[in-house]
Structure 1
Amino acid sequence: MTKEERSWILQDFGNSAYSITITTAILPIFFKGVAASQLPDATSTAYWGYANSLATLLIALLAPLLGTIADFKGVKKKLFAAFTLTAIISSALLATVGEGRWIYALVIYIITAVAFNGSSIYYDAFLTDVTTDDRMDDISSKGFGFGYLGGTIPFVLSLGLILSAENLGLTVTFATQMAFLITALWWMVFTIPMLKNVKQKYYIEGEPSKIKESFSVLWKTLLEITKNKMVLYFMIAYFFYIDGVHTVITMATAYGVDVGVDSDRLLIILVAIQLVAFPFAILYGKLAKVFGARKMIMAGIITYTVISIYGFFLKTELDFWILAMLVASAQGGIQALSRSYFGKLIPKNKSAEYFSIFNIFGKVSSIFGPLLMGIVISITGETRHGILSLIILFILGAYFFLKIKDEKVEEIA
């Protein structure tokens, strides 16, 4: 493994701490229990939802333009550094959130979310710079795999600090604030190799265009995608199946509560998913060398189809554990290989622009899965019917993915 590949993987090892600590587990609880403690529960939950929606909208509007600009010589690294450092600093600032400061908390969180997602676009785009096509599946899988491990370590440390706060003579609020500092510090340490060792090898000559011209370039790229059948079918397939993947990830905890799993057990299961997902993500990359990335992505789609069916029959905590382990076995692998498969399809000198579109497809699609579940649950009155409805997304994803007839991937001319 080269120095550039190791540095790229270490960035995922570091930034995954943000995903589990700030996006998924600790900050949402801290926001409701401390920052917005004076607000009614329904109101604070609604405000949290609005903040997430606004952050998603902002990155959706900014990403294509920033991706287009980043493909020019020397720009991608600067934008990656700017977005990453902004995300790290704003994550650390969450430690200054106190009781009743819910507006301040939401503003800081929105900044972290936009900066994190922006940095992720450039991080993904650097995959084409740090490795070769024949190693891309393996490196992408290792990034996801070590990311699960890297996200779990500071989360467990933070959780231990919070649970032991009283024994250590600390308040739970202070311990939680320290968790945000731990997350930011962890992320910063493992960002240094990326900033030091990774360089933009593929680029477009010249200077970044004016905003109007950048949108013109973006439109031209979208037309290129529609003319290349392999890329077009992949993007449509990805839109559907990754929507199903994200929906299972985001709705699993709520579904566990509905079937009677204790909240403490859910937290344990969340950590277990991260630990199990680590080796399985790497395994997907190894198996892709033997069977090809296309077959392994299909294996992931089939696994998630089974998850949707099994979820319908779920009744006990043991059933939920089985469901969680199935999710852990596939979630990293299917995302990692989708990233590397796309990376081999696109022209390397336009990687930031193409990956901005790739990321936007993933984010926009994530709106429809929860919406589909919500509608079905509302009509039937049964949560289990909602998870079963996700089969539609995986069937559509598989249909369009199978339209990619050839395992060989070629760059767009």
Structure 2
Amino acid sequence: MTDKARKSKYPLTKLEKAWIGYDIGNSAFTLLVSTIFPIYFNSLAEGGGLAPHMALAYWGYATAITTLIVAILGPIFGAMADVRGKKKKLFAMTVAVGVLTMMALMLPLSWFQFLVFFIIARVGYQASLVLYDAMLTDITEPERMSRVSSYGYALGYIGSTVPFILSLVLILMGEKIGLTMQFRMGGAIIINAIWWLAFTIPLYKNFEQKYYASETMGSLGQVFRGLGKTILDLRHFKKAFLFLIAFFFYIDGVYTIIDMAVAYGGSLGLDSTQLLLALLLTQFVAFPFALLFGKLSNKYDNGLLIKVCIVAYALITLFAVQLDKVWEFWFLAVCVGMFQGGVQALSRSYFAQSIPKEKSGEYFGIYDIFGKGASITGTMMVSAISQATGRQNLGILALVILFIFGFYFFAKADKVDREVIV
């Protein structure tokens, strides 16, 4: 047994468990955003006189705006987090923004107002993930990163089903007894907000920043100069640089599918209850498969496993183009669940193992630009093509191109030695 495999079998530490716990907490928001929120927004849009393809387009534009904002703020927060003691404080601030603004969605809102609050809540959520991902280098050792990262995604998927099921029962049963949609949505939001906050507390209490680049914050100008230097330094890390280009393309496609799946199915006229249950199945499928990919990373190279996930997603996208039946959406949900956690967890650990630990905040800020920020391309592509042609499936078809480019650049990155290129 190799040293890597031996060390990866050690029990999880208290800090690792607390870090994994935040994945359980924030995943509730992710599931709510990708399932119930689009359906609620569609009802608001319908009441506002929007056609289905226009509702899909505006939902996509809101998602794109969110990721654009985070693409700008993420690296700045990341650079600020590399100051001693700042990572935890910035993390708490972004979580607070996300949770509080999420609760504001309980108010009686028009479809436009809903999108505004949704954008702010999601900015807080995604900014917290920049800092959360950067914590990975502080809470565990390199040889354990793939395992811990995979556990985070796996337990996040299964854990998020608890508040989701409660929310689903409230929404469906509430409808039968005559509760208004706004009241039912308000209850679902409260449930998920409390869940998110509850799993944030252990990480906040136990986390201590182990690696940092400086003792003082300095001016904002210094932050930008330091960030610029980090970006320039990437050329010396050829593997990480090529990986980021690949990541830009393939994770763009992954996040677009996650963000737009229910909105896409709803725009095709598929039953909303069936769509929600199918996405719930995705979470249950993703749980064991994320753990499986974590175990496979002890035996097989991470690069090979990521390539398998990229190819699988390209095939899933091709299948989605002709989707027009509920059973096909169920099948799609299962396939997405099989590879979703694996590609996310392995990508996070692959990058974390390729960067300087003391500058993890800055590097994960850049990672976020190429990752969640990059999903602007996919969501805008789907939205614009759907709006221009009136055919949603043509927008989905364009995502295949992202996976082709992603595979190409990842294959190039995976050939590069881990050593720094001087």
The alignment's TM-score, normalised by the length of structure 2, stands at 0.87
After superposition, the Cα gap between the structure-2 partners of 1:397 and 1:105, relative to the gap in structure 1 and judged at 3 Å, is closer
Comparing 379-388 and 224-233, the one that deviates more: 379-388
Residues 47 and 165 of structure 1, relative CA distance in 2, 3 Å threshold: same
What are the superposed Cα offsets for residues 112-150 of structure 1, whole Å, 9 maximum, x if unpaired?
112111111100100111111111001111111111112
Q: 1:187 maps to which residue?
A: 196
SS in 2 for 1:364: coil
Query: What is the rounded CA distance, in whole Å, between the counterparts of 1:107 and 1:375 in structure 2?
Result: 20
Distance 2:98 2:386 in 1: 36
Partner of residue 12 from structure 1, selected from 10, 18, 23: 23
* Letter aligned with residue 64 of structure 1: P
Change (3 A) 1:133 1:205: same
Query: Is the 8 Å Cα contact of residues 345 and 411 (structure 1) preserved in structure 2?
Result: no
Q: Which stretch of the first structure deviates more once superposed, 393-402 or 84-93? A: 84-93
Using the TM superposition, give the Cα deviation of residue 409 of structure 1 relative to its aligned residue in structure 2, in angstroms.
Answer: 3.7
Percentage identity across aligned positions? Answer: 45
Is residue 73–residue 203 contact of structure 1 (8 Å, CA) maintained in 2? yes
Alignment map for 1:207-356 (pairs within 5 Å): 207-257=216-266, 261-312=270-321, 314=323, 316-356=325-365
- Asked whether the 8 Å contact 1:313–1:384 carries over to 2, the reply is yes
Q: Distance in 1 between matches of 2:266 and 2:38?
A: 16
Alpha-carbon displacement from aligned partner over 1:248-306 (angstroms, at most 9, x marks no partner): 32343354456664332112111111111111111111111110211110110111122
- CA–CA separation in structure 2 for the residues paired with 1:332 and 1:226: 29
Aligned to 1:27: 37
Letter in 1 for 2:77: L
Preserved CA contact (<8 Å) 2:80 2:86: yes
Q: Which residue of 1 aligns with 2:8?
A: none
Contact in 1 for aligned 2:265/2:329 (Cα 8 Å): yes
Partner residue of 2:76?
65
Question: Runs of 5+ in structure 1 lacking a partner?
Answer: none
Aligned equivalents of 1:255 and 1:38: distance in 2? 19
Q: Which amino acid aligns with 2:314?
A: T
User: SS of 1:164's equivalent?
Assistant: helix
- Look up the SS of the partner of 2:131 in the other structure: helix
1: CA distance between counterparts of 2:56 and 2:269?
21
Question: Closer, same or farther in 2 for the Cα pair 1:326/1:48, shift >3 Å?
Answer: closer
Q: Which amino acid aligns with 1:395?
A: I
2:86 equivalent to 1:91: no
Match of 1:80 in 2: 91
- SS of the residue corresponding to residue 373 of structure 2 reads helix
Q: With a CA cutoff of 8 Å and minimum separation of 6, indicate the structure with the bigger relative contact order.
A: 2
Number of the residue aligned with 2:399: 390
Q: Indicate if the aligned counterparts of 2:237 and 2:420 stay in contact, CA closer than 8 A.
A: no
- The partner residue of 1:141 within 150, 165, 170 is 150
- Look up the SS of the partner of 2:212 in the other structure: coil
- How many residues are paired up? 409
State the match for 2:162 in structure 1: 153
CA offsets, 1:211-248, max 9 Å, x none? 11111111111111123210111011111111121233
RMSD: 2.8
Alignment partner, residue 134 of structure 2: 125
Q: Which stretch of structure 1 is more off in the superposition, 375-384 or 337-346? A: 375-384
Q: CA deviation at 1:346?
A: 0.7
State the alpha-carbon separation in 2 of the partners of residues 378 and 188 from structure 1.
Answer: 37
How far apart, CA to CA, are the structure 2 residues paired with 1:244 and 1:86? 27
Q: What is the DSSP-based 3-state SS (H/G/I as helix, E as strand, rest coil) of the residue aligned with 2:84? A: coil
Measure the CA separation in 2 of the matches of 1:162 and 1:113: 22
Q: Is the 8 A contact 1:277 1:331 kept in 2?
A: yes
- On the 8 A contact 1:69/1:209 being kept in 2, the answer is no
Structure 2: gaps (5+ residues)? 1-11
Contact 1:346 1:411 in 2 (8 A): no
- 1:158-169 matches, cutoff 5 A: 158-165=167-174
| 8 Å Cα contact 1:292/1:407 also seen in 2 | no
User: Cα offset for 1:386?
Assistant: 4.4
Tell me by how many angstroms 1:176 deviates.
1.7
CA drift at 1:399: 1.3
Instruction: State the one-letter code of the partner of 2:83.
Output: F
Say whether 1:197 aligns with 2:191. Answer: no
1:161-205 CA distances to partner (integer Å, 9 max, x unpaired)? Answer: 121125667444222211111111111111111011121111123
Q: Distance in 2 between matches of 1:286 and 1:407?
A: 24
**Which AA in structure 2 matches 1:158?**
S
C-alpha distance in 2 between matches for 1:372 and 1:142? 32
In structure 1, what is the Cα distance between the partners aligned to 2:416 and 2:72?
Answer: 33
Q: Is the 8 A contact 1:244 1:394 kept in 2?
A: yes
Distance 1:269 1:38, change over 3 A: closer
Report the CA distance shift for 1:370/1:53 in structure 2 as closer, same or farther (over 3 A).
closer
